[in-house]
Structure 1
Amino acid sequence: MQSTTLSVGDPIEGRCTKCRKNTNHIVISLKDDAPEKVECQTCSRQHKYRPPTVAKKPAARKTTKPKDADRKQWESLRPEMESAKAKPYSMTETYKLNNLIDHPSFGLGIVQRVIGSQKVEILFADGRKTMRCQ
């Protein structure tokens, strides 16, 4: 365990500017009881003390579960959908609001919103998807 008061010659962990990682250092000089200058034990370079960096947590993955509101809306619209009237999905087609779509991967869906000239938002059983179109 490291003591609370440091002195010249004590080992300390810090970020080395040459190695670009956290390494063990030796304190060379102090200023107000804090390390000012240190020497890296890996590359022997002397530099200003920099505290060790903390590893970042990996970004959390987004889940594709449908929201409760989307699920309720899908359940209310599902009885009115007739799969025989559904248009097969194609990126080269144009779609209008409330068009019934049959997607090869997601199944039946209904166009909820037209986004610009080349995208539509479609409500499927497993949630909303933004799809490309003509």
Structure 2
Amino acid sequence: MATHKVGGEVDALCTRCKLTLAHTILAMVGTKIARVRCNTCGGDHAYRGAPGATDRPSSSSSTTRATRTSSGSSAASKAEKIIISFEEQLAGKDVANAPRYSPKDTYRMDQVIQHPTFGTGYVSAVRGDKVDITFRGDTKTLVHGRGGAPAEKPAFSPPVRQATGPADKPQPVGDTTEPAAEEAVEPPPASED
């Protein structure tokens, strides 16, 4: 059985060309090819093996199946997953004194947190200014340790209106479309009667 890797080539059925052609491997899940790109048309699609080709070993499959089923019970007991409930993970932690979550505070591993939206959770990972907090339903990545003074908001300065004209003629610098205060129209002089 050939070992495949991302960037390698494999023959696959192209969904656009409708032919078995050479493809470049784009993604793999474990040892299985997940996504490929056709070298002929450039189309990306899920991997579909060439018709008649399988990823199963072709050696005497009946004896292999019999061996698997007889030793399957011992393999199942070794691979049995242990699931720990959320309540069991919180057991022994100080839930009563859990602080309310704030991005300004700094948290440590296994610390219990009260979040206003997600409820009670505990810190399962700390990465720089981010923490992974495991809640009953999901694990969320939140920020922490940003307790500095609130940053001042930048002052708003509206854009300066520029004179517009034909694009092929240069505009004089400092020319605006609004008349300046000194250039205001003066009233005509009063007549002497």
Q: Common fold, TM-score beyond 0.5?
A: no
Bigger fraction of residues in strand = 1
TM-score, normalised relative to structure 1? 0.43
TM-score, normalised relative to structure 2? 0.31
Q: Which has the larger radius of gyration?
A: 2
Q: Comparing both chains, which one has the higher relative contact order based on Cα–Cα distances under 8 Å and sequence gaps of 6 or more? A: 1
